[in-house]
Chain A
Amino acid sequence: MTKLVEWLGAAGLFVGVWAYLFISTPVGHSTDFARHFVLFLPFYALLAFAVISVSIIAWRVYTFNDCEEAAKELKQEIEDAKADLRKKGFKIE
């Protein structure tokens, strides 16, 4: 099963449950609030997902390691390498 099929399956299930809730249960014909909530459930779910996603991404960007040490180390090693290679007969430009 590909991921696409998995997602289509999950979406189908969600839509099925949602439609059932709306059509065959009292909620669909009841108070304004409950009806409104169920009707817009997919929208709210997507909104919640978007908000959570953006938060996760923002956090990960914020805590992204900046490898200052690695860059410094590399700079030094480049000099060491050039010196050693010259000694070994390498023609560096």
Chain B
Amino acid sequence: MEHRDKYSVLLPTYNEKENLPIIIWLLVKAFTESGDDFEIIVIDDGSPDGTLDVAKQLQTIYGDEKIVLRPREKKLGLGTAYIHGIKHATGNFVVIMDADLSHHPKFIKEFIGKQKEKDYDLVSGTRYSGNGGVYGWDLKRKIISRGANYVTQVLLRPGASDLTGSFRLYKKEVLEKLVQSCKSKGYVFQMEMIIRARQLGFTIGEVPISFVDRVYGESKLGGNEIFQFAKGLLYLFATT
């Protein structure tokens, strides 16, 4: 009997009560069109704006086999959210993405196609190569982004064009293994995942994606974030 592939989408959320219905609608639409079996695991970190209630409503509409809720008490970070989410995932593949509509589910079909090409262990969405790109960034943001990516490429030679991206498809067991060995936070966590994946000999495919930043105006890329990034980069430089 043929074993069917199933894709578990991990959606960590914090104060996404407006975006959550849209992203779920887009995900259901994308998977219905591609015909792949899926589930969406919403990991809400105690959002004060009622995101969890919104998720419950969506669950009654789409069913609790498609919308799985695994909330947590408070904001506990991305790494543990993935660990928590994987524990309940019934798929053999896991998609990680942002819930704020910067990542579009229509690319998941392309991730799946790419993965099947060479049975890649992970497929990474890239904003920096092919016809990948970003909407909503001003010149300063673009310079910082390309500058940081360049320094990362020179220092770490990672073999992937977009290290801080968080729109990826992993084989479940690969994600499990990687999350356990990555200690960093934020941007650096995503970087470390790719670096460790290479170290462990996992194969990485890339798919150009478009990143639509609608919150850039509100959430600035501050000096502190840049400092944390530099610190993380040096950490990876010295330890991998």
Contact = CB atoms under 8 A, between A and B. Distances in A.
A74 B212 contact: yes
Interface in B123-156: 128, 131-137, 139, 142-143, 145-147, 150, 154-156
A81 B131 contact: no
B139 A61 contact: yes
A67 B133 contact: yes
Contacts of A84: 25
Interface stretch (B7-15, B68-76, B232-240): B232-240
Contacts of A70: 104, 133, 135, 210, 212
Contact of A53 (B61, B143, B150): B150
16 contacts: A3-B236, A4-B237, A53-B154, A60-B128, A61-B143, A64-B134, A64-B146, A67-B133, A67-B135, A74-B212, A77-B26, A78-B101, A81-B21, A88-B61, A90-B61, A92-B21
B211 A67 contact: yes
B197 to A, nearest CB: 16
B135 A2 contact: no
Contacts of B57: 90-91
A66 B135 contact: yes
B200 interface: no
Interface of B: 21-22, 25-26, 57-58, 61, 101, 104, 128, 131-137, 139, 142-143, 145-147, 150, 154-157, 210-212, 236-240
Contacts, number: 82
Contact of A74 (B101, B145, B155): B101
Interface string A53-82: 100110011001111111100100110011
Contacts of B157: 3
A65 B131 contact: yes
Contacts of A69: 210
Interface of chain A, helix or strand or loop or mixed?
helix
Contacts of B101: 74, 78
Contacts of A19: none
B146 A81 contact: no
B43 to A, nearest CB: 21
A61 B141 CA distance: 10
Contacts of B131: 65
Interface string A3-45: 1100000000000000000000000000000000000000000
A51 to B, nearest CB: 13
Counting from the closest, the 8 A-B pairs by CB-CB distance are A65-B133, A67-B210, A70-B210, A81-B25, A67-B135, A71-B135, A60-B146, A4-B238
B77 to A, nearest CB: 25
Give the residue among B132, B150, B155, B210 with the most A Cβ atoms within 10 A: B210
A70 B133 CA distance: 10
Contacts of A56: 150
A57 B147 contact: yes
A67 B210 CA distance: 6
A85 interface: yes
A38 B61 CA distance: 74
Given A3-B238, A65-B131, A77-B26, 13 more contacts: A2-B237, A3-B156, A4-B238, A53-B154, A57-B143, A61-B139, A65-B133, A66-B134, A68-B135, A70-B135, A74-B101, A85-B25, A90-B58
